[in-house]
Structures are given as structure tokens and as C-alpha cells.
Structure 1
Amino acid sequence: MSEEFAQEKQRASTWFRELRDQIVTAFEALEDSQATGPFADQPAGRFEVTETKRASADGSDAGGGLMSVMRGGRVFEKVGVNISTVYGELGERAQNAMAARKGIPGMKEDPRFWASGISLVAHMQNPHTPAVHMNTRMFWTPHAWWFGGGSDLNPCIEYDEDTAHFHAVQQEYCDKHDTAFYPRLKEWADEYFFVPHRGRARGVGGIFLDDHNSGDWEKDFAFIQDVGRAFLPAFLPVTEKRRTQEWSDADKDQQLQHRGLYAEYNLVYDRGTKFGLETGHDANAVLMSLPPMAKWV
């Protein structure tokens, strides 16, 4: 791996690991505290951790990460919190896509890249408790660097007060850096998480950013850290409120159908899914976001 930008790369990679550890600890504590409900008498869920590797064409070291997945918990039916740091050279397909979408010159002449990030998707036992997605990442090439990511809420049964809380926390953390960030990133999320073939949004939105480079790495790194820090205070209170709420068979059916919508989006439109598969990262880690069960009508 190139020594260019080495210190910044290491700091970013370390932060994503720290954020992962905080979230895993918080989620396992939530499992421990679930004392009522239909799953309260089963063992509290725990994350299974698997090391992942990126496959390179020539067999050289290309990085990897940790896939942490909890299945069949008291609160979480399936939740994954993955981190990765991968590097090497982009294949021709990925080069062309990157150059076309981001307008980066020189990719064919020097196709090296480095990318690190955290990706989280949670699918819940209780259909009143919303599914959620969060990711933050840093990407580097010899020609450019940028941050991206965001967080969005995906309830199958919507509650206005839950949506308001989730968005209020996102705005609070964005406003620390620039009051123009939240409205712009909210609008971006609304556009990005739209499912064209269904003519509707995937969920109730959140924030989304990509290609974030103000020219000041320290400033941008501080912001992407706060995007990550906003996740737990935005999501945990909603989960704690809904996790013991009674549900019906119709509620569960509605949840399964909404998961079908989620799966469609991730397989057809999600950039992270496409990039991970195109660049040879562990397919199980890339597809961790898919729900354990879903339904189509």
C-alpha cells in the first residue's frame, strides 16, 4: 500500500474500528436488557465475528476487515456491523465507473485505491421497531480523496415522533459543523434512497453524502466522525420505545413485505453493494445487509 496519505488513512481506519466497537457494545447491552416480550426467555444475542479478505487478481495482500453479525436475538432478528480496509488496483470496470461518476482523471494510468469504512444494517424482531442503515467511509486514489456515508431509518410501520427524533439528532450533529449541511444531506438522502421501480422511498430518510472533500482533511474527518457519533443517540431511543410493543400477524406480514422493498433496493441500486462485489470483497460481507426473511406479494 502506498505511503501517500498514510497517517490520515490510519486515523480513519482506526476510527471506524472504534465506532464499530461502540455500536457492538451498545447493541449487546440492549439484548441483555430485554426483559419482556416473546423473545425475552431466550439467550441474549451476541455477535459472531468473522475475518474477511478482499480477493486480488494476482493473489497479493488486498486488505480485508471484520464481519460482525448477530442473528436471532431478543431485539435484533439480524444485525451486521462490518468494517473493512481494502486497497490495491481497481479493475477496468470499476475504473470506468469511478471515472465516469466522479470525473476523476488518470484512473487508467494509475488505478490504485484505498478505502476504509463501517457499514451497519439492523433488521428487528418487533415490526414496530424500525430497521436502520448506517455507513461512513473514506476513499483515496492518487488523484483524489473523499468521505461519504450517512444514516437512514426504515420502518415498516411509521411513527411520526420516531421519524422526528431520528432527524433531529442528525440535524444536531450536522449543525455543529455547518447549518447548511443537514437540509442538503437530507434532500440527498431522499433522492438516493428512492426506489424508482416502486415509485416510493425505501424508508423515512436521514442524511446521505458522497464525494465530501472541502480541501481540509481534518475538518472533513471531524464531520464524518460526527455522522457516525449521531447514530446511537438517533436510533437507540426509538428502539427502546418500540421493542416491547405488541404486534399482530398483520404487522409481521407488513414487516416482511417492507423487507422485500429493502432487498430490492440494495440489490439493484445501492452503490456500496455494487462497488464491493466489483472490487472482489467478501460477498457474504457485502450482502450482509439483506434481511433474514422477506416477502413479496
Structure 2
Amino acid sequence: MVEEAMESQKAQAAEWFKTLRDEIVAAFETLEDSQTTGPFAGAPAGRFDVSETSRASDDGSDAGGGLMSVMRGGRVFEKVGVNISTVYGTLGPRAQTAMAARKGLDGMADDPRFWASGISLVAHMQNPHTPAVHMNTRMFWTPHAWWFGGGSDLNPCIEYGEDTAHFHAVQKAHLDPHGDGHYPRLKAWADEYFYIPHRGRARGVGGIFMDDYCTGDWAADFALTQDIGRAFLPAFVPLVERRRDKKWSAADKDAQLIHRGLYAEYNLVYDRGTKFGLETGHDANAVLMSLPPMAKWV
């Protein structure tokens, strides 16, 4: 019965990530349609190109996959990806070691099966005054444990205090019903996770983040994860609408490209999801979707 219940819970989580993906894709295409001013207003409204992704298993058996939805060269979005996936199989030795160390699990080598499902989003914008953004939520299962993770964080190259305040206020409003301590704890977690040691600075202006989250109450933890996802559109869309018509200079664009270099460094050197996706054989294009279309280093 326990195993049957977990299979039902896995299905609920995977379906939720798909529902959230559909809502975000529709909202972003609406933003494209409503962009009627600015240098890209005369261009065709951006649309997502959708393709299936797959995970390569060592023995050639079915190992799951997902959908990669990418928009390039839109009126508002220079590049945005909204990916979902549900993958499964067995963890390799390196992944087993990393998982055991993180979770304090014994017996990973005896039964290294895993299942993971989630949504991952990264948006790089045309207008340098409009902030880049990242969001993901996910569920991970092994025979030894299950947990949730994810969050969202804002990455402006030109910072506006009111934008940062709005983004954080929406996150807090969605977390507070789950307990007053959730927002400050997940905010601090994001500040630590999205820090770039070799640059001595944060990647952006923060947000919320959690990983390896399991209280033992699956329904409560799933509800928290859902509200992290639900917070994304009301936290981000008003910022796009506020900044997308603001005029920018060549210096502004240069600042954006340099900041994108910072973003790329973080994702390639430190991001745990990037490392896990590549090490477990998931579609490389989907894993590296987060990289900006153009970047610059000084």
C-alpha cells in the first residue's frame, strides 16, 4: 500500500509541474502579444518551439524524458526556456556517492533506483531594464527517501529596489500560510545557494530556495512546493510590464551582456541541477537551456 500511495503521489507531482508549465507558457506568449511599443514591437510575437527530450540509459531501456519549450528572438524575451521532465532509472556511482553524502543515506549501492520530476525555467530578456529570472520546482525519489526542492530568484543587470521588493513580497505572501518561518529561511537559503565564491558576490538579488526538503508529511510538502510555483507569475510578470518599454542605451546592453556572463559562470560551475542532469544522461540541450543567447566577459 505504501508503494502504491507513492506512485500516486509521483503522478500528482508530475501532473502539477505540467500544469504550471502550461500556465507559464500561455502567460509569456500573452506578454509577447501585448508588446506594441519599443524597438521589437514590429517583429512577430515570439512563440515557443516545443520538442520532446529523453534521458539516455546505459542499457538502452526507457528512462523517461520531457518537453523542452524554448522561445528565441521575441519582442520581450530574447531567450526563454520552460522545461518539464520525468526521468527514472539507476544512479551511477558518482551520483550515488553524492546523494549518500548529502542525505546521509545508507544502502544506495544496494538499490540505486531513482525517479525525478520537475519544471525548470530561465528567461533572458530583450530590454536590459527587464530582469532575467529563474524558477524551478521538483520532486526526487529513491527507495530510501523522497524530497522536494526549488524556488525562484531574480537576476537584474540594472537593479531597481521597488522591483526587488515586489518580487520578495509576493514570495513571502505565498509562503506565509505554510508558517511564518518559511520565507526568511528560504530567502537565506537562496542567498547562500546563488552566491558565486570566485566573484565574491551573489548572482542576482535573491529570492527563495529549498533543497532536500522532506518533513515526512508528503501532502504538506507538496502544497508548499505548489505555492512556490504559484508565486512565480505574480512575482515576475508585473516587473516585465513595468520595465519592457523603458528606453535603453548601448551601455545598458553592455551591462546586460556582462551580467549574463556572471549567470553562465554560476550555472556551469556551481549549479547542482546542471551537474545532475549531465551526469545522469538527460538531454544536454535541455540541461543547458539556462545559458543566455549572448554574453560578454571583460
Q: With the length of structure 2 as denominator, give the TM-score of the two structures.
A: 0.98
Take 1:113 and 1:104, find their aligned partners in 2: how far apart are those partners?
13
Structure 1 counterpart SS, 2:17: helix
Runs (5+) with no aligned partner, structure 2: none
2:105 matched to which residue of 1?
Answer: 104
Amino acid in structure 1 at the alignment position of 2:44: P
Amino acid in structure 1 at the alignment position of 2:285: N
Structure 1 counterpart SS, 2:178: coil
Q: How many residues align?
A: 296
Take 1:183 and 1:86, find their aligned partners in 2: how far apart are those partners?
32
Take 1:52 and 1:76, find their aligned partners in 2: how far apart are those partners?
22
1:3 deviates by 5.6
Structure 2 counterpart SS, 1:73: coil
1:222 matched to which residue of 2?
Answer: 223
- Output the aligned Cα RMSD: 0.8
1:273 matched to which residue of 2?
Answer: 274
Take 1:245 and 1:98, find their aligned partners in 2: how far apart are those partners?
45
> Where has structure 1 moved over 4 Å in runs of 4 or more?
none
1:5 deviates by 1.3
Identical-pair percentage = 79
Take 2:163 and 2:88, find their aligned partners in 1: how far apart are those partners?
39
1:211 deviates by 1.1
Take 2:74 and 2:168, find their aligned partners in 1: how far apart are those partners?
27
1:232 deviates by 0.1
After superposition, give the CA deviation of every residue in 1:3-44 in whole Å (9 maximum; x if it has no partner). 671100000000000000000000000000000000000000
Take 1:295 and 1:183, find their aligned partners in 2: how far apart are those partners?
34
Runs (5+) with no aligned partner, structure 1: none
1:28 matched to which residue of 2?
Answer: 29
1:106 deviates by 1.1
Take 2:285 and 2:134, find their aligned partners in 1: how far apart are those partners?
17
1:145 matched to which residue of 2?
Answer: 146
1:195 matched to which residue of 2?
Answer: 196
1:102 deviates by 1.8
Take 2:242 and 2:103, find their aligned partners in 1: how far apart are those partners?
41
Take 1:230 and 1:61, find their aligned partners in 2: how far apart are those partners?
34
Q: With the length of structure 1 as denominator, give the TM-score of the two structures.
A: 0.99
Q: How does 1:1-297 map to 2 (within 5 A)?
A: 5-297=6-298
After superposition, give the CA deviation of every residue in 1:155-201 in whole Å (9 maximum; x if it has no partner). 00000000000000000000011110000000010000000000000
1:105 deviates by 1.4
